């Protein structure tokens, strides 16, 4: 049956319309699929990190050229990340290489609640996706970068963490800080380490927390804000008192024995720049000792390398021999060919060096104490011998009593 012209044109238009609609929808679907693939590729591709940790150091105008600059010239050069110094808006410095962040609308009012919260907010807004960890610290803190890196790499930064030395206030403040029975805060002095997840959850609530302060202590309020909006408290572990160390004798802190530094990750307080440099030299020397011990251990594993020995040269005559000094019970030293010989008390430098040697030895002895099932402890020194070889250093032979 013949089809009329209007009906034919109607059918033809319908077919063309359906075909065109199908083509357009197919192209749109393909574009959407390709866009989704690119988005998935971005999600799968790991984000590039600038470093392990971003450290924010709060300082004031009167300390920016002393304490802060000493931090920048000492331990800040040996951290696995970036160090920034946060100051008031109009602060100036005579050191152009010092990386200052001037916080708008912030002054040097103490206690520095506003400065502390503004610093944490700034780090979240500018570097949240570039670092795994974030440190809030003061300018009288010393950080052992290698130890901090070793500690943080054992933790998962994608989970919420607030790490530091837990505090509840001193005896006069106990019960007056509006803390719950299970609440605490990370003491600001030894430093507060936050994971990226903690900072992400905390950042939107910092302004609100600043408007509802219950005390004048900025570290207490920061801990309260973390507890309320992130849901985690500061680490309760007893070991944190050693790792994030706070010396209670602030006036004489770290001016004498520095043995407590070896077990610590952060050391506080160090308000004198000279003491800061002293602690830094001690830390670098300890690091050098560890590397030398590692080198010796690696050399002993090689069969083609001569093992360490105290007989380094074959003397041609008795004049070529280096005499040994005898140390009796770490008190009296018997020597020859020097001032105060043949008998005098052991010098402070020698006693300090022997103490460092004993500490290093027992750290190595007890490195696998858990597998061995026994911890060796030093009791006393019976006697020892010491000599100085100008070309090689100082040799010690020590007879120690263990238990």
Whether 155 maps to a domain, the answer reads yes
Q: Which of 22-26, 58-62, 234-238 has the lowest mean pLDDT?
A: 22-26
Chain segment 332-369, per-residue pLDDT in tens:
888 877 777 888 888 888 888 888 888 888 877 887 77
The CATH number of whichever domain residue 180 belongs to comes to 3.90.550.50
DSSP 160: -
Q: Considering only 14-28, 138-152, 164-178, which range has the smallest mean pLDDT?
A: 14-28
Q: What integer is the mean pLDDT of 320-337?
A: 81
Q: Domain for residue 5, yes or no?
A: no
For residue 382, give the nearest of 340, 323, 310, 332 by alpha carbon: 332
Lowest-confidence pick of 95-99, 324-328, 339-343: 339-343
| Residue 257 and residue 110 share a domain | yes
Query: Does 231 share its domain with 356?
Result: no
The answer to whether residue 310 is domain-embedded is no
Same domain, 83 and 225: yes
Rg, C-alpha atoms of the chain: 32
Indicate whether 189 and 107 sit together in one domain: yes
Q: Could you identify the residue written with the tokens 């251990």? A: 297
Record the pTM. 0.75
Residue 316 has pLDDT above 70, yes or no: yes
As given in the structure block, the two tokens for residue 85 are 């110094």
**Of 53, 67, 137, 116, residue with least CA distance to 95:** 67
Confidence of residue 320 (pLDDT cuts 50, 70, 90): confident
Residues 256 and 360 in one domain: no
Domain that holds residue 69: 51-285
Residue 78 lies in a domain: yes
16 pLDDT tier (thresholds 50, 70, 90): low
| 3 within domain boundaries | no
Domain membership flag for residue 18: no
Asked if 74 and 211 sit in the same domain, the reply is yes
- The tally of domains found in the chain comes to 2
Mean pLDDT check: name the lowest of 97-111, 122-136, 268-282, 292-306. 292-306
Give the pLDDT confidence score for residue 8 in this predicted structure. Answer: 60
Site of tokens 């050229």: 65
Do residues 281 and 347 share a domain? no
Band of residue 35 on the pLDDT scale cut at 50, 70, 90: very low
Identify the three-state secondary structure at position 266. Answer: strand
216 vs 304: CA distance, rounded Å: 65
Q: How far apart are CA 315 and CA 321, in angstroms?
A: 6
Question: Is residue 263 in a domain?
Answer: yes
Within this chain, do residues 213 and 332 fall inside the same structural domain, yes or no? no
The last residue of one of the domains, among 285, 313, 348, is 285
Looking at residue 37, its pLDDT comes to 41
pLDDT band at 190 (very low <50, low <70, confident <90, very high): very high
Residue 343: how many other CB atoms lie within 10 Å: 11
34 assigned to some structural domain: no
Residue 4's pLDDT band, with cuts at 50, 70 and 90, is: low
């Amino acid at each position: 049956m013949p089809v009329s012209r209007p009906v034919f044109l109607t059918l033809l238009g319908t077919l063309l319309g359906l075909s065109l609609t199908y083509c357009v929808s197919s192209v749109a679907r393909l574009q959407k699929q390709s866009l989704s693939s690119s988005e998935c590729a971005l999600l799968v591709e790991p984000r590039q990190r600038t470093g392990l940790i971003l450290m924010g150091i709060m300082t004031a105008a009167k300390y920016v050229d002393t304490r802060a600059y000493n931090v920048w010239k000492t331990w800040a050069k040996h951290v696995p990340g970036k160090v920034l110094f946060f100051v008031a808006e109009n602060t100036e410095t005579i050191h152009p290489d010092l990386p200052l962040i001037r916080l708008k609308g912030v002054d040097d009012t103490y206690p520095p609640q506003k400065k502390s919260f503004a610093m944490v907010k700034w780090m979240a807004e500018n570097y949240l996706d570039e670092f795994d960890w974030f440190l809030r610290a003061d300018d009288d803190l010393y950080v052992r970068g290698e130890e901090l890196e070793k500690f943080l790499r054992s933790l998962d930064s994608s989970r919420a963490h607030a790490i530091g030395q837990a505090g509840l206030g001193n005896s006069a403040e106990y019960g007056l800080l509006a803390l719950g029975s299970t609440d605490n805060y990370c003491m600001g002095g030894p430093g507060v380490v936050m994971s990226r997840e903690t900072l992400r959850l905390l950042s939107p609530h910092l302004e609100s927390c600043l408007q509802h302060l219950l005390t004048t202590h900025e570290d207490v309020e920061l801990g309260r804000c973390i507890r309320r909006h992130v849901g985690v408290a500061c680490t309760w572990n007893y070991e944190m008192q050693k790792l994030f160390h706070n010396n209670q004798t602030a006036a004489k802190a770290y001016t004498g024995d520095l043995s407590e530094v070896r077990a610590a990750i952060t050391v506080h307080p160090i308000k004198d720049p000279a003491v800061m440099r002293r602690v830094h030299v001690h830390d670098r020397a300890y690091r050098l000792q560890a590397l030398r011990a590692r080198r010796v251990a690696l050399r002993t594993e090689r069969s083609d390398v001569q093992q360490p020995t105290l007989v380094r040269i074959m003397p041609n005559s008795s004049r070529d021999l280096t005499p040994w000094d005898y140390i009796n019970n770490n008190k009296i030293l018997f020597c020859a060919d020097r001032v105060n010989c043949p008998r005098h008390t052991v010098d402070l430098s020698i006693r300090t060096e022997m103490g460092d040697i004993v500490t290093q030895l027992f750290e190595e002895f007890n490195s696998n104490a858990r597998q061995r099932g026994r911890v060796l402890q030093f009791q006393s020194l019976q006697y020892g011998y010491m000599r100085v070889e100008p070309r090689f250093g100082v040799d010690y032979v020590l007879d120690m009593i263990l238990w």
